[in-house]
Structure 1
């Protein structure tokens, strides 16, 4: 087996001390069947990113986190990358102008979607009319916006065929964030829209019984936020296809930051994956590297080790340097940073050397702050099969120094 077991936690890759401590706390709290760390793991809030916790009859809104249903959509187009490369600068400018990146952005074109007729919106109505109306308005306004942090729209060249791929990565935006904070408030007997003190990095997870009224309400609200994230990624992908004048002939769409009801060893379980991707046998997934590294399309294997992982794998390369370490500490009054280890010149040099046309992004998203994707893929070689290797040729993200409370 490629994993090791440390104090009952199954760990792929090299253990990170901070994430390991958080995983042990998760393993000791509630009706836990198994806790796992994927090879891209690092510290998160309460449950580590790259962490998986399998519960009997419970779920954790802090484990799912604030960017509910964050995920990736990738499509293979009918174009070859060689057709795009001569025009890549102009195309990336169009993407940066047409797609809404950044904090608090609203979509100038209001997007209608049948998810707004989902009967589970009644959950918010049960909480209160003000809460229902505020969140639904926010959701309508932000549908189709990308946000900042590690969220992106990228163009790729497939290594073997030269085919052109598009991928995006973002989640449920302000709607998901307020849903998460609202239910964490309710679990602590605070008002849904009240000011929350915020989670401490190493606090135990907040748990809800799935059969309780609050647990059922959260589960239904979480599913709406997941539908919302999928609708946003679909919309943005259609916008990029339109810019390119391209058609998609194959797509992969998957997510993390969610609680799944699944059967394992014939028993009903709830699997909370924060920054971890489902990898059931035959299930397709997209795993993104940094802006200066490969990304891959994968498929889950029918193997003993994949069963041991509760059909879970990495969602990306995983950070090895915090945002503050990389970019420095931001003074939001002067909008100046100080103390960062990575300079803009270093980042631009690395990206040019890799042949990427970059729009936006700060040094906290530079290639230097992430593991090499192949290293984490190697750790999971017995659980997933790499089907396509993609090399980025265009990367678009929010501009540097965007503060976004809705990031992954």
Structure 2
């Protein structure tokens, strides 16, 4: 059950700085309700794990810089017995064949029908240069994973020993530049202006949907959503080919997005940052850390889920900042110092859990995350756990990568 703090519905253990951000969000615009899922933590403008329900407005700062970040998970036709002796080789191939890291381009040319989508006209309205450069960037990065907490994982299901694949990433540089551009437009600046010094405590940026710029952002955001879906589809297909497997079941959704939804007979815009839509019967993938189980969940038809505006967690949620965990990076030497988590701790913890790891830094170690079971327990009345998945292979960008996203 949730508790209410200054009008904000809060699941799990309240984190003061995130609650303060949520309360601030409630004071700007036409807000129906603000909620914090149990994995909530401090974010840019709107807390991660935060949900803000607007009447006729959309928030580019609420959706955030990594537009349409989300997960795709598929169950394969393989059993653990089929690959357990080959997991090291498999993860070597995943790391070699899929591009991880900031600014990476795909190793092969990828085309997709989304590049003919009529909503590319939004960028033509902004300018031919912006349209052409963003489409070129999008083409080059489709199917790349990025850095930070973005991953490609292989799991074994607890009860059946079925092999699953899952990934986590969003709309890459295309989405980031789209977010930056519309935040600029909302403040009266040029779309491509380089604005420095965005503060984590920034007030919510709001656009009325019935304005030209509000409609343009909504269309651009949805195009970024299609792009993120296409990228996650591409990566899953590539891992299926590595495994020489087929998908038998699929779960796919965003958790950094704004949806037009009807609640209690009224239409709203529901902005979820680091929160997953979870209507009755709707499936979602919820990731734990690399030293914890992940799950497939299904939304329940319950009064509490109605109160949650059909929203749930997107992961375990951080308990330690990246800098506190890994220390500060010296970008000249590409080394960190002063972190509380040592590489030895991370590698020992992950190895003891039976995971074959490629890449990752200590800022993504199991020790910086809440235990997923505790987070899910706070939402027990709103969801059912359908599948429990133990990671056996994890691949992420290396420790020397900068995460450009503020969420």
Q: What's the TM-score once normalised by structure 1's chain length?
A: 0.99
Q: Which residue of 2 aligns with 1:248?
A: 247
Partner deviation per Cα, 1:243-262 (whole Å, 9 max, x = no partner): 00000000000111111000
On the 8 A contact 1:147/1:406 being kept in 2, the answer is no
- Distance in 2 (CA, whole Å) between partners of 1:198 and 1:124 is 25
Matches within 5 A, 1:256-335: 256-335=255-334
Q: Which residue of 1 aligns with 2:404?
A: 405
Q: Which residue of 1 aligns with 2:55?
A: 56
On the 8 A contact 1:318/1:370 being kept in 2, the answer is yes
Q: Which residue of 2 aligns with 1:222?
A: 221
Instruction: Mark the runs of 5 or more structure 1 residues left unpaired by the alignment.
Output: none
Q: Which residue of 2 aligns with 1:354?
A: 353
Aligned-residue offset at 1:82: 1.9
- Distance in 2 (CA, whole Å) between partners of 1:34 and 1:277 is 16
How many residues were matched structurally?
A: 407
- Distance in 2 (CA, whole Å) between partners of 1:11 and 1:155 is 32
Secondary structure in 1 aligned to 2:19?
Answer: helix
Q: Which residue of 2 aligns with 1:389?
A: 388
Aligned-residue offset at 1:81: 1.3
Partner deviation per Cα, 1:290-336 (whole Å, 9 max, x = no partner): 00000000000000000000000000000000000000011112222
Q: Which residue of 2 aligns with 1:213?
A: 212
Matches within 5 A, 1:153-164: 153-164=152-163
Secondary structure in 2 aligned to 1:101?
Answer: coil
Q: Which moved more, 1:48-57 or 1:103-112?
A: 103-112
Q: Which residue of 2 aligns with 1:192?
A: 191
Aligned-residue offset at 1:199: 2.4
Secondary structure in 2 aligned to 1:395?
Answer: strand
Partner deviation per Cα, 1:248-290 (whole Å, 9 max, x = no partner): 0000001111110000111110000000000000000000000
Matches within 5 A, 1:114-129: 114-129=113-128
Aligned-residue offset at 1:373: 0.2
Secondary structure in 2 aligned to 1:110?
Answer: coil
Runs of 4+ in 1 over 3 A off after TM superposition: none
On the 8 A contact 2:44/2:406 being kept in 1, the answer is no
Aligned-residue offset at 1:198: 4.1
On the 8 A contact 1:12/1:380 being kept in 2, the answer is yes
- Distance in 1 (CA, whole Å) between partners of 2:335 and 2:346 is 18
- Distance in 2 (CA, whole Å) between partners of 1:407 and 1:80 is 38
Q: Quote the RMSD (CA, aligned, Å).
A: 0.8
Matches within 5 A, 1:109-188: 109-188=108-187
* 2:381 aligned with 1:377: no
Instruction: Mark the runs of 5 or more structure 2 residues left unpaired by the alignment.
Output: none
On the 8 A contact 2:43/2:406 being kept in 1, the answer is no
- Distance in 1 (CA, whole Å) between partners of 2:151 and 2:62 is 23
On the 8 A contact 1:179/1:221 being kept in 2, the answer is yes
1:308/1:390 CA distance change after superposition, 3 Å: same
- Distance in 2 (CA, whole Å) between partners of 1:125 and 1:190 is 17
On the 8 A contact 1:327/1:343 being kept in 2, the answer is yes
- Distance in 1 (CA, whole Å) between partners of 2:79 and 2:333 is 45
